[in-house]
Structures are given as C-alpha cells and as structure tokens.
C-alpha cells in the first residue's frame, strides 16, 4: 500500500516525547515577549522568566503589553518541576554567573528533567547532551573525526566531528552531561580546562580555524549543566579540580504528599495520553501508591511507624512508571479492580536490585498495611487482603 504525503507527515510528527523547547515552545515565546528586562549575554530569556518557566506562574495568566503575531494575548505558565523554588533560583543565578552547575541527588528526583528545562529556557536547546557511562571517552566531551573526510582532506574543519559540548561552546548554548560520575576520572577532567578557560583546544586545526593555536572560543551563553546520583553503583569520584569548577545543588525528593501525587498524576497522564488511553488511575489508588512509595523511600510512615527500607530507590519516577502501567493495563486489558494490580507492580519495583527486598515488602505489608487496615481504612483493608500476591517469603530462604 502506497503511503500518502499526509500519512507520511503524520508519521514524522508522531514522537514519543518532544524536547522541552518544542513541547513548551508557546510558553518560551510568550515569556521572551513578556519579560523584556536585562538578560545575561547569549540568553534567550531573563533569569526571572527562566525561573517562571520552570516553576510556573502560580496560576496567574501572563499578559502581553502589545500583541505579538502567533502568540496569545495571555497565557498561564504551567509548573514543570515540583520542588524548592529557591533551588531553581540558585541554579539560574549559577548559570548567569557562567559557573558550571552540578545537580546531585538520589535517582528519580528529576535532576535530568530540571537540567533539560534550564537548558531549553536559557539557550533554546536542551538536546546537546552527553550520557555518562563507563564507556564514555574524552571524544564524547571534546571532539572526534569523520575518518572518511580525514583521510581524503586531512585535519580540516569539515572533517571535525564536534561533541555536544563543543557544539554548545561554539554556538553559545548549554551542554548537559548526564551522570557525570559514571565517566572515568580522566574523562571527567576533560571539562576542567573548558570550564576554566572557556575554550577548547583542537591542535590539529592550528592555523586553519579558531585562533592561531587551534582553539575554539566560547560564545556568549555557553555553559555546562551536569547531574550525578548520590546513591548509585559504579561511580567515580570527581577530582577536586573539577569540583571547583561547579556549583553544587542538591535536588531532594518531593517533601509534600499532595505535590507528589499531583506530579505523578500529571506525568502518568501525559504518558497515557501518548498511548491514546483515556483511562486515568483512581485518585484513591494513586494516593495509596504514592504513600507506599514514600513510606518505603523514607523508612518511616506519616504516623511515625518505622519501615525497613528496600535497597531499590523508590523514586517518584518509579511511581510514575507504576501508575502508567496500571492505567495501560486497565485501558488495554480491562481491569475491574485496579487496586488488585498494585501489590504485583510494587513487588516488581522492589525486587529490581535485591531479591531479598521481597521480604522487606512483606514486612511492610505485615506492619504498616495491616495497621492501617485495622484502623478501618477500607482501601488499606483491601490491600492487606492482597498480601498473597507478594508470596510467602524470600526465594532461597
């Protein structure tokens, strides 16, 4: 069957997740027109507008002083990061001062999302990203070569294969380095001179591009945002020299239950919308799910009862994943009682790192869930009745 131009266009337009600068293009454009105050060199928005883009306008509709073609007269800026506004403000000030920004915290605390939002608002692009792994090399942070062109023409600018960091440096944008501590220390230290001198040396191009020594100089607006996990395996300690080039900001887990429930609802709802699934998870089920995650994450319930924490990090991101799974199973397979699925999905999450964590989840059921069931809460009584889904012990015992 031949594909029509219209169907081909729809296929190209269908993506799972758009970059932040495309997903929120209308908000970024309105903020740029609304706040015309002073901007750091190379920035697309004012620092105040960047903060508003990340945390939202608090329900207020921002109104343009004069009409702008293609933009509404007013628009409410949606909150995208749930957390301390002061953290966002300090991060923006760090970037305005041309210091590298390092966001640290436990897995699943939205460090990557925050770094993308900041990069998109500051420089119009959050996609110049290096994913740190044990296999990341210095070329990923600096540059490589198109070897076909290198053999044909020698070391010329056309043969250069710039890294996202070099591209950001030359164009005045923000580069992101995800999980920087997963890179080997000698690879991490490729950033030291870049952050200090704001230039990158390419000796092979001396006398051909850049300055006479073969340097590319940073354009206004260039900066680096890196992320690192505090509780992770296979990480490498950063050198003292590199640490000094960054301002550190700790991104903590969400402190408020209602705020976390709302974030999980919004993120899972967006995922379900991409599937065309109109089934939303019941509010009571969602609150129970997030409450269980918070209990197991913190090691203590809101009532003050102690909980044996599993090895797995019970992050907000994992809660979003489980909520999405509950909605998809109800939409595609038809489930009369979504609550009946919760213990199984919780078990799958808890067992990711250590099979012995099954025993910790059983202890949570026999302690916290049972206490809440005995207090008369109908939903928790139903959950306690589903204890059999978790099994009767830890494999191998």
Is the model more confident about 159 or about 7? 159
Structure tokens at 116: 């993308």
Of 167, 91, 159, 97, give the one whose Cα is nearest residue 129.
167
Ramachandran area for residue 61 (φ above 0: left; ψ -120 to 50: alpha; else beta): beta
Residue 127 near residue 90 (C-beta atoms within 8 A):
no
Of 154, 157, 226, give the one whose Cα is nearest residue 190.
226
Of 297, 193, 298, give the one whose Cα is nearest residue 244.
193
- Tell me which H or E stretch contains 41: none
- Condensed to tens digits (0 to 9), the pLDDT of residues 197-238 reads 999 999 888 876 555 557 899 999 999 999 998 776 668 889
Query: CB count, 10 Å around CB of 34?
Result: 22
Residue 277 pLDDT exceeds 70: no
Cβ within 8 Å of residue 22, ≥6 positions away: none
Following DSSP, what letter does each residue of 224-280 receive, concatenated? EEEEEESS-SS--PPPHHHHTTEEEEE-PPP--HHHHHHHHHHHHHHHHHHTT--PP
- Determine the pLDDT at residue 397: 40
Q: How large is the average pLDDT for residues 38-53?
A: 98
Whole-angstrom distance, CA of residue 314 vs CA of residue 294: 7
Q: Where are the domains of the chain?
A: 18-250, 257-390
Mean pLDDT of the chain: 90
Question: Cα 385 to the chain's mean position, in Å?
Answer: 36
Q: Are strands 143-145 and 160-162 parallel, antiparallel or unpaired?
A: antiparallel
Whole-angstrom distance, CA of residue 165 vs CA of residue 187: 13
- Determine the pLDDT at residue 235: 80
Share of the chain above pLDDT 70, in %: 92
Predicted confidence band of residue 392 (pLDDT cuts 50, 70, 90): low
Residue 311 near residue 357 (C-beta atoms within 8 A):
yes
Question: At CA 248, angle to CA 243 and CA 249, rounded to 5?
Answer: 165
- Determine the pLDDT at residue 394: 44
Is the model more confident about 129 or about 274? 129
- Determine the pLDDT at residue 16: 82
Q: How far is CA 74 from CA 66, 188, 385, in A?
A: 11, 44, 51
- Condensed to tens digits (0 to 9), the pLDDT of residues 131-185 reads 999 999 999 999 999 999 999 999 988 899 999 999 999 999 999 999 999 999 9
Strand-pairing partners, residue 131, are 178
Predicted confidence band of residue 11 (pLDDT cuts 50, 70, 90): very low
Structure tokens at 109: 């605390």
Structure tokens at 115: 């770094």
Residue 304 pLDDT exceeds 80: yes
Structure tokens at 82: 């749930």
Share of the chain above pLDDT 90, in %: 75
Cβ within 8 Å of residue 66, ≥6 positions away: none
Whole-angstrom distance, CA of residue 323 vs CA of residue 330: 11
- Tell me which H or E stretch contains 390: none
Structure tokens at 151: 């053999």
- Determine the pLDDT at residue 279: 63
- Determine the pLDDT at residue 96: 97
Residue 3 pLDDT exceeds 60: no
Residue 177 near residue 128 (C-beta atoms within 8 A):
no
- Confidence (pTM): 0.89
Question: At CA 62, angle to CA 56 and CA 66, rounded to 5?
Answer: 150
Tell me, which fold does domain 18-250 have in CATH?
Rossmann fold (3.40.50)
Residue 81 near residue 114 (C-beta atoms within 8 A):
yes
Q: How far is CA 244 from CA 216, 241, 353, in A?
A: 23, 5, 33
Q: How large is the average pLDDT for residues 383-387?
A: 95
Output DSSP code: residue 117.
Answer: H
- Determine the pLDDT at residue 233: 63
């Amino acid at each position: 069957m031949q594909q029509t131009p219209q169907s081909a266009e729809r296929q190209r337009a269908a993506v799972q997740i758009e970059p932040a600068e495309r997903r929120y293009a209308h908000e970024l454009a309105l903020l740029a027109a609304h706040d015309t105050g002073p901007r750091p060199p190379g920035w697309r928005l004012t620092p105040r507008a960047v903060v508003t883009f990340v945390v939202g306008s608090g329900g207020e509709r921002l109104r343009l002083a004069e009409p702008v073609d293609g933009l509404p007269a007013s628009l409410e800026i949606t909150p995208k990061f749930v957390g301390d506004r002061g953290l966002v403000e300090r991060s923006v000030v760090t970037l305005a001062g041309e210091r590298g920004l390092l966001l640290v915290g436990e897995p699943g605390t939205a460090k990557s999302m925050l770094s993308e939002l900041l990069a998109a608002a500051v420089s119009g692009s959050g996609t110049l990203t290096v994913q740190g792994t044990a296999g990341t090399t210095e070329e990923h942070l600096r540059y490589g070569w198109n070897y076909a062109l290198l053999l044909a023409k020698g070391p010329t600018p056309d043969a250069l294969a710039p890294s996202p960091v070099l591209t950001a440096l030359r164009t005045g944008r923000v580069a992101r380095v995800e999980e920087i501590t997963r890179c080997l220390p000698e690879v991490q230290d490729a950033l030291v001179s870049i952050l200090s001198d704001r230039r990158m040396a390419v000796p092979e191009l001396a006398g051909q591009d850049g300055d006479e020594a073969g340097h590319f100089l940073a354009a206004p607006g260039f900066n680096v945002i890196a992320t690192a996990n505090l509780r992770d395996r296979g990480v490498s300690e950063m050198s003292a020299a590199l640490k000094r080039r960054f301002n550190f900001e700790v991104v903590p887990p969400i402190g408020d239950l209602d705020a976390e429930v709302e974030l999980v609802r919004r993120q899972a709802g967006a995922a379900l919308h991409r599937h065309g699934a109109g089934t939303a998870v019941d509010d009571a089920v969602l609150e129970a799910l997030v409450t269980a995650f918070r209990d197991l994450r913190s090691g203590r319930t809101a009532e003050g009862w102690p909980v044996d924490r599993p090895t797995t990090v019970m992050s907000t991101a994992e809660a979003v994943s489980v909520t999405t799974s509950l909605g998809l199973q109800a939409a595609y397979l038809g489930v009369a009682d979504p609550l009946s699925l919760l213990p199984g999905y919780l078990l799958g999450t808890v067992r990711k790192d250590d099979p012995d964590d099954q025993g910790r989840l059983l202890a949570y059921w026999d302690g916290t869930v049972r206490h809440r069931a005995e207090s008369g809460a109908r939903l928790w009584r139903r959950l306690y009745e589903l204890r059999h889904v978790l099994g009767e012990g830890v494999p191998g015992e």
